[in-house]
Amino acid sequence: MVPSEIRALFSVVSRPEIVSLAGGAPYVSALPLDVIGDMLGELVAGKGAEVLQYGPAQGDVHLRERICEVMALEGVQASADDVVVTVGAQQALDLVTKIFVDPGDVVLAEAPSYVGALGTFAAYQADVVHVPLDEAGLVPAALRETLERLGKEGRRVKFLYTVPTFQNPAGVTLTTARRAQILEICAAHDVLVIEDNPYGLLGFDHEPMRALRADDADRVIYLGSFSKTIASGLRVGWVLAPHAVRAKLVLAAESAILCPSNFSQLAVREYLATQPWQEQIKDFRELYRERRDTMLEALDQLMPDGCTWTRPAGGFFVWLTLPEGLDSKAMAPRAIAERVAYVPGTGFYADGGGHRQMRLSYCFPEPHRIREGVRRLAGVIEQELRLRDTFGGIRPSDTDGVHTPGPDVV
């Protein structure tokens, strides 16, 4: 496990003068905090003996039933018995990796991939092999080629890790046609799929996409989270897994934490039972849509020629590619000096890629700050372009590695 090289930079991004387009924190201030406060007070006063007690390792059964209702919005039919409640989807990632991966095993992951997953895979000494994605998500032909190549080399692939919907960090979504192809290819090579889907209900344009798990209950392990749809501070996520896998997950969870927090689980259960949670998610979607629009508009107006970026239809992130010869990591301290922060692309690759890319998030700053952040960033990129044209290119740093991101970056 290696600490993030950019952690030092991030220690300054919470300063008010810096516009941070780096963090992935949901905008929890949009919640009805007073109503939730009352709800929590009543929960402890009325059911304190249960709320403040240990609970079952698999998680509260009524919450697991509710979780099945949430997943039904994405076409998933599941039994509460196959759900394990975890401390955020992050613990779900950890448990799944722990039970499947031995040092040196291959894990396939999108290029780029969620930094927190790469950190987990590194901690269990997995050998991450990246498979490219484009605007339509993971590229099926590239997946097939990679699996064939690894097969010929006699390498054992434990699973494919994918964030198919509103991907972190790329902001892209796997199309319906590709979903079927990805499942077909994984079935042909007998590879498990880890579908990590914390943003699935945060789409701006249409009904939720059908989850991969909805079309293959035996091959797909689904990871979910209330971090983005309710509150990240509650730390409630889950795994839905085939029965035999579920049994191992419960054992692994028990040895890690005994049981997930009863307080948090019952808070979520109560929230789902008594609050208009679907309306709240709609409010979040509107809020994030406005911020997405602001960011895309500012990028369209302000970014110098040669920059390209994705146009997310949901979730939190835009993935920007710099013009040839520029290096997002080398540029980061200069951006901080100009009072704007982003996450350099290198953090999202296990193989040293991502030097020309960066992740920009629009989930947390107010729209006027997003616009100002993009304006400052455009100025920094223009400066870099002038440097490039004067000195003929900037040498990429040679100190990359997978790192643990820290909660301010995820």
Cis amide prior to 112 (ω within 30 degrees): yes
**What is the rounded distance in angstroms from the CA atom of residue 205 to the CA atom of residue 280?**
17
Among 18, 89, 118, 370, binds ligand PMP (CB under 6 A): 89
Which of the stretches 82-90, 144-152, 279-287, 359-367 binds ligand PMP when contact is defined by CB under 6 A?
82-90
By beta-carbon proximity to ligand PMP, the closer residue of 88 and 365 is: 88
Among 198, 200, 312, 314, binds ligand PMP (CB under 6 A): 198
**What is the rounded distance in angstroms from the CA atom of residue 330 to the CA atom of residue 346?**
11
Torsion sign across C-alpha atoms 163, 228, 293, 206: positive
Among 168, 346, 357, 361, binds ligand PMP (CB under 6 A): 168
Q: Give every CB contact of residue 281 below 8 A, 6+ residues apart in sequence.
A: 201, 202, 229
Q: Is 209 in the site for ligand PMP (CB under 6 A)?
A: no
Write the binding mask 364 to 383 for ligand PMP: x where contact by CB under 6 A, - elsewhere.
Answer: --------------------
Which of the stretches 2-10, 85-93, 210-218, 396-404 binds ligand PMP when contact is defined by CB under 6 A?
85-93
**What is the rounded distance in angstroms from the CA atom of residue 260 to the CA atom of residue 176?**
34
Q: Is 88 in the site for ligand PMP (CB under 6 A)?
A: yes
Among 10, 100, 114, 288, binds ligand PMP (CB under 6 A): 114
| 3-class DSSP state of 138 | strand
Q: Give every CB contact of residue 167 below 8 A, 6+ residues apart in sequence.
A: 110, 114, 133, 137, 173, 315, 317
CA–CA–CA angle 172, 316, 69 (5° rounding) = 85
Could you tell me the CA-to-CA distances from 171 to 105, 206, 232, 279, 362 in Å, in that order?
28, 16, 19, 24, 11
| 3-class DSSP state of 202 | coil
Which of the stretches 4-12, 225-233, 326-334, 364-372 binds ligand PMP when contact is defined by CB under 6 A?
225-233
| 3-class DSSP state of 225 | strand
Q: Is 55 in the site for ligand PMP (CB under 6 A)?
A: no
Q: Is 232 in the site for ligand PMP (CB under 6 A)?
A: yes
**What is the rounded distance in angstroms from the CA atom of residue 353 to the CA atom of residue 346?**
6
Q: Is 163 in the site for ligand PMP (CB under 6 A)?
A: yes
In angstroms, give the least distance from the CB of 361 to ligand PMP: 10
Which of the stretches 28-36, 86-94, 346-354, 373-381 binds ligand PMP when contact is defined by CB under 6 A?
86-94
Among 97, 120, 227, 310, binds ligand PMP (CB under 6 A): 227
Which of the stretches 66-74, 83-91, 101-109, 243-251 binds ligand PMP when contact is defined by CB under 6 A?
83-91
Q: Is 237 in the site for ligand PMP (CB under 6 A)?
A: yes
Name residue 280's amino acid.
Answer: Q
**What is the rounded distance in angstroms from the CA atom of residue 341 to the CA atom of residue 23?**
9
What number of other Cβ atoms are within 10 A of residue 287's Cβ?
Answer: 17
Among 112, 116, 312, 345, binds ligand PMP (CB under 6 A): 116
**What is the rounded distance in angstroms from the CA atom of residue 21 to the CA atom of residue 361?**
5
By beta-carbon proximity to ligand PMP, the closer residue of 58 and 232 is: 232
Of 16-45, binders to ligand PMP (CB under 6 A) are 24
Torsion sign across C-alpha atoms 13, 15, 17, 23: positive
By beta-carbon proximity to ligand PMP, the closer residue of 171 and 373 is: 171
Of 281-300, binders to ligand PMP (CB under 6 A) are none
| 3-class DSSP state of 194 | strand
Q: Is 196 in the site for ligand PMP (CB under 6 A)?
A: yes
Instruction: List residues near ligand PMP by CB under 6 A.
Output: 24, 88-90, 114, 116, 163, 168, 196, 198, 225, 227, 232, 237, 410
